[in-house]
Amino acid sequence: MNKKSFLKISFTFIFFFINKMLFATTIEKEIFFSAYLKGINLAKAEGQIKINPNILELYFTAQTVGVFSLISEWQQTLSISAILVNNKLKSQQYKSDDSRGNKKGHMYLSFKNEIPKIVSAQPDPRENKEREKIDKNLLRNTIDPISGILNIGLNGNCNHKEIIFDGKRRYIINASFMEEVTIKKNHFFSENFNSIKCVFSIKKLEGYTEKEKKRYPGNGYIWYKKVGKNLFFPSKIAIDTRWGEFLCLIKEKELKNESNSL
């Protein structure tokens, strides 16, 4: 797996845990990410999350920074929409556009039917002879990566699993609660705060190339901060990779508030 692929996957694991009660109100927040590899600032991202009754929309734009921007001039814009059905998020749309220098790619998925559809993809994974084929019936009722992580966090206990389809691969994310911990004030967070630490693992199912099976990360840890009644945001993600520890810090801010929340 090259650094471009790793960046895509890493930010795929940048998410928000939201309880069903939130969908009774309208919420709009800005979100900020700062990612590190072996302690060196790797990338940053900014975006927004909007919640209306039974509808969730999220988008963010990420890019490499510092020395990594000289090695890989990478950018990605990702957006999703989902609805709440039977107390769980159901994907509606997933869009990802990325570029590295002059090279550009995208993946647009529709989940409006039981079996998701690739609306457009460049490169198209269906034309890759090295990639495992996926029986369409196995994709029934799968969801996109971001909505899947959101669902795992419902009720703030992390004890969930979700079956994911990202346009190329089908896999299962399993998560479980570990402990409550305090995250300390640092250069990114303005104060100490309580969090829930959870462990997650990925079971690779279909659609992978042989290289992806060997190289893609399979587990990690995530910490969630309670920011309101029944509302949880991830605040920290740690994943062991072949290049060292990947660390992502996350904070949010009210759109009408000039100062960041943490």
Query: Which is nearest to 68 in space by CA: 98, 47, 44, 33?
Result: 44
**119 is written with which tokens?**
């609306």
- Looking at 105-176, list the stretches that DSSP marks H as alpha helix, in order from N- to C-terminal side: 145-152
pLDDT of residue 227: 67
Whether 227 is in a domain gets the answer: yes
pLDDT of residue 2: 58
> How many other C-beta atoms lie within 10 A of the C-beta of residue 52?
12
Q: Choose the weakest-confidence range: 26-30, 32-36, 76-80, 183-187.
A: 26-30
pLDDT of residue 80: 96
Q: Say how many domains are in the chain.
A: 1
Which DSSP category does 112 fall into?
A: S
Q: How many angstroms separate the CA atoms of 45 and 34, rounded?
A: 7
pLDDT of residue 75: 92
Q: How many angstroms separate the CA atoms of 228 and 164, rounded?
A: 28
Residue 75 and residue 99 in contact, taking contact as beta carbons nearer than 8 Å:
yes
Confidence of residue 18 (pLDDT cuts 50, 70, 90): very low
Whether 101 is in a domain gets the answer: yes
More confident residue, 109 or 235: 109
**130 is written with which tokens?**
């090295």
pLDDT of residue 229: 60
Q: How many angstroms separate the CA atoms of 239 and 222, rounded?
A: 9
* Averaged pLDDT score across all residues of the chain: 84
Those residues whose C-beta lies under 8 Å from the C-beta of residue 2, and which sit 6 or more positions away, are none
Whether 193 is in a domain gets the answer: yes
Residue 52 and residue 84 in contact, taking contact as beta carbons nearer than 8 Å:
no
Whether 175 is in a domain gets the answer: yes
In the predicted model, is pLDDT for residue 130 greater than 90?
yes
HSE-up (13 A, CA, CB side) for residue 197 = 10
Whether 260 is in a domain gets the answer: no
In the predicted model, is pLDDT for residue 153 greater than 80?
no
Q: How far is CA 237 from CA 35, 179, 245, in A?
A: 9, 15, 10
Whether 84 is in a domain gets the answer: yes
Residue matched to tokens 């797996």:
1
CATH no. for residue 80? 2.40.360
Which DSSP category does 261 fall into?
A: B
Q: How many angstroms separate the CA atoms of 24 and 55, rounded?
A: 10
In the predicted model, is pLDDT for residue 259 greater than 50?
no
Q: What is the mean pLDDT of residues 19-41?
A: 76
Residue 90 and residue 143 in contact, taking contact as beta carbons nearer than 8 Å:
yes
Q: What is the mean pLDDT of residues 119-125?
A: 96
In the predicted model, is pLDDT for residue 232 greater than 90?
no
Kindly report the backbone phi and psi dihedral angles of residue 70, in degrees, each rounded to the nearest multiple of 5, phi listed first: -80, -35
Whether 259 is in a domain gets the answer: no
Confidence of residue 262 (pLDDT cuts 50, 70, 90): low
Whether 261 is in a domain gets the answer: no
pLDDT of residue 204: 93
pLDDT of residue 21: 43
Q: What is the mean pLDDT of residues 75-88?
A: 89
Confidence of residue 101 (pLDDT cuts 50, 70, 90): confident
Which pLDDT tens digit goes with each residue over 34-80? 999 989 999 999 999 888 878 889 999 999 998 888 778 899 999 99
**By residue range, what is the domain housing residue 137?**
3-254
Q: How many angstroms separate the CA atoms of 70 and 42, rounded?
A: 11
